[in-house]
A and B are shown apart, each in its own frame.
Chain A
Amino acid sequence: MSPLHLELRNVSKSILRKVNNSRVTTQVLSGLELEVQGGELITVMGPSGSGKSTLLRLINRLSEPDSGIITLNGKNTRDYDPLELRRKIGMVFQVPIVFRGSVRDNIALGMKLWGSYIDIEALARDTGIPEALLDADALPLSVGEKQRVCIARALANQPEVLLLDEPTSSLDAVTAEKVEGLLLGMRRERNLTVLWVTHDREQAKRIGGRKFMLRDGRLEEVHV
């Protein structure tokens, strides 16, 4: 397998925002450039509304850039089957959303979609989900437990790249620290390529890796 290579070239994107009941188009990314090698950890910082989430959405094609090219292993992401691309590029959202059914059903979704085999018990153990919880209904779980389920569900797809959209910002401080540690541990063990978006400068310091600030629609490498 050739080493992973993700590249964004001259990517621009405007989004529609509701301001006082009217829709306003705002340019959030403007000529953005980024190159990521396999196994790298990239931390993207920036204030709210600076386009961090939009950047991740473009990479796994939940949204389309207005201009510019995104390539995965040299191939334009537009030329991938979008469902297959999203399996390769997993995403964990800021607010964890679990689906109706048990924790096991949630984690096994990728297995059902792709016909692959995953050791659910082992994955649950790795992501800090107690085995007793596997057959519990996922909807009433705490936010922290839900986020662990979402992480396990994304990892069950065996993605090549994992996009993390402020995965700890909706959690309380203690849980956030645990989930942060869990994600960093999983990344090391699996040599995952990770793009981690955060607005928290201190967290960016703890995470490590190459750090970027999203400013005026572009990424600037910073050393914090």
Chain B
Amino acid sequence: MSEVPALALSVALVILTAAYARRLGIGKEISISGARALVQVLILASVILLLFDLPLYWSFLVLLVMAVVAGHTSYSRSGKLERTLPVAIVSIAIASLILLIPFFLLGVFPFEARYLVPTGSILIGNAMNVSSLSIDRYRGEIRNRRAEIEAYLALGAPPELAVADSLKQGLLSGLIPSIDNMKNLGLVWIPGVMTGMLLSGANPLDAASIQIAIFTAILASNLIASTLLLHFSTDSFFTKAAQLREDLD
């Protein structure tokens, strides 16, 4: 029974960090974030516990809720462009689902809530981070390249061609952290899944195999989610008459 000391350690660390961070003016923010994280994770643990005894579609429902929250976060990063909310939710959900399926089809994990929810949430969470980074950069690139984009449009080029370079930059900047993480996998840090498996007594080779499968799935789902989001949100930056919207600045 290690949960009581673990939770006590977490509470103590949040209090100590917040106390120190008061000098930097972010003590309150750390206290609130720490308290939220603790409560949210405990609620999540209770939900997963409940899911063990419920039919599997409940697990998918929980993952869908996660995808909606993740999509909303990325949508906020887009400057709340119209039509981007459903695009963000669907992009993250589809990308995560596509990469989740092989884990269960190939028998890497048994098709149970215990495996489905954590693996799905890892993919959704990472897809959200990368989608948010990508759409934020994409929007910034479009704003900064207004003159270039309008020079394309003035020649009769379609918006997709006019923003092609901005889209590429958006995708790249979103994916660079994932690529760097993959480069340093095992060198600078032992990632979460492997750490968890090792702590619970798994064979290091098993832990490493699962970890690399999860890591490559994360990268692939990140790429799919951010590509879908940027591609299908392009129309939101333009009017129906293919004019770059004036209210982006």
Looking at the assembled complex, report how far the CB atom of B73 sits from the nearest CB atom of chain A, in whole angstroms.
27
Q: Is the CB of A62 within 8 A of B154?
A: yes
Looking at the assembled complex, report how far the CB atom of B47 sits from the nearest CB atom of chain A, in whole angstroms.
45
Within 85-124 of A, Cβ neighbours of B (below 8 Å) are at 85-87, 90-91, 93, 95, 97, 99-100, 109-110, 113-114
Looking at the assembled complex, report how far the CB atom of A28 sits from the nearest CB atom of chain B, in whole angstroms.
13
Neighbouring A residues of B158 by C-beta, 8 Å: 83
Q: Is the CB of B148 within 8 A of A97?
A: yes
Interface residue stretch chosen among B32-40, B120-128, B239-247: B239-247
Name the contact of B239 in the complex, choosing from A64, A87, A91, A113 (C-beta under 8 A). Answer: A64
Neighbouring B residues of A85 by C-beta, 8 Å: 156
A206 to B242, CA, bound (A): 36
Looking at the assembled complex, report how far the CB atom of B155 sits from the nearest CB atom of chain A, in whole angstroms.
6
Neighbouring B residues of A5 by C-beta, 8 Å: none
Interface residues of B, CB < 8 Å — how many? 21
Q: Is the CB of A93 within 8 A of B246?
A: no
Known A62-B150, A93-B147, A95-B147; judge A86-B243 contact (CB<8 A). Answer: no
Q: Is the CB of B242 within 8 A of A83?
A: yes
Taking the complex as formed, is B235 at the interface, i.e. its CB lies under 8 A from any CB of chain A?
no
- Determine the residue in chain A with the shortest Cβ distance to B150: A62
Neighbouring B residues of A62 by C-beta, 8 Å: 150, 153-154, 243-244
Taking the complex as formed, is A12 at the interface, i.e. its CB lies under 8 A from any CB of chain B?
no
Looking at the assembled complex, report how far the CB atom of A159 sits from the nearest CB atom of chain B, in whole angstroms.
9
Within 39-88 of A, Cβ neighbours of B (below 8 Å) are at 60-64, 78, 82-87
Looking at the assembled complex, report how far the CB atom of A52 sits from the nearest CB atom of chain B, in whole angstroms.
16
Neighbouring A residues of B141 by C-beta, 8 Å: none
Neighbouring A residues of B154 by C-beta, 8 Å: 60, 62, 86, 90-91, 93, 154
Looking at the assembled complex, report how far the CB atom of A88 sits from the nearest CB atom of chain B, in whole angstroms.
8
Mark interface residues in B137-174 (1 if CB within 8 Å of A CB, else 0). 00000000001101111111110010001000000000
Among the interface residues B155, B161, B243, which one has the most CB atoms of the partner chain A within 10 A? B155
A78 to B239, CA, bound (A): 13
Q: Is the CB of B241 within 8 A of A61?
A: yes
A15 to B152, CA, bound (A): 22
Q: Is the CB of A113 within 8 A of B157?
A: yes
Name the contact of A109 in the complex, choosing from B148, B157, B241, B247 (C-beta under 8 A). Answer: B157
Neighbouring B residues of A61 by C-beta, 8 Å: 241, 243
Known A61-B243, A64-B243, A100-B165; judge A157-B151 contact (CB<8 A). Answer: no
Looking at the assembled complex, report how far the CB atom of A86 sits from the nearest CB atom of chain B, in whole angstroms.
4
A205 to B149, CA, bound (A): 33
Name B residues whose Cβ lies closer than 8 Å to a Cβ of A: 147-148, 150-158, 161, 165, 239, 241-244, 246-247, 249
Name A residues whose Cβ lies closer than 8 Å to a Cβ of B: 15-16, 18, 60-64, 78, 82-87, 90-91, 93, 95, 97, 99-100, 109-110, 113-114, 150, 153-154, 157
Known: A82-B243, A93-B147, A99-B152. 8 other contacts (CB 8 A): A18-B249, A62-B150, A83-B158, A113-B156, A113-B157, A113-B161, A153-B155, A154-B155
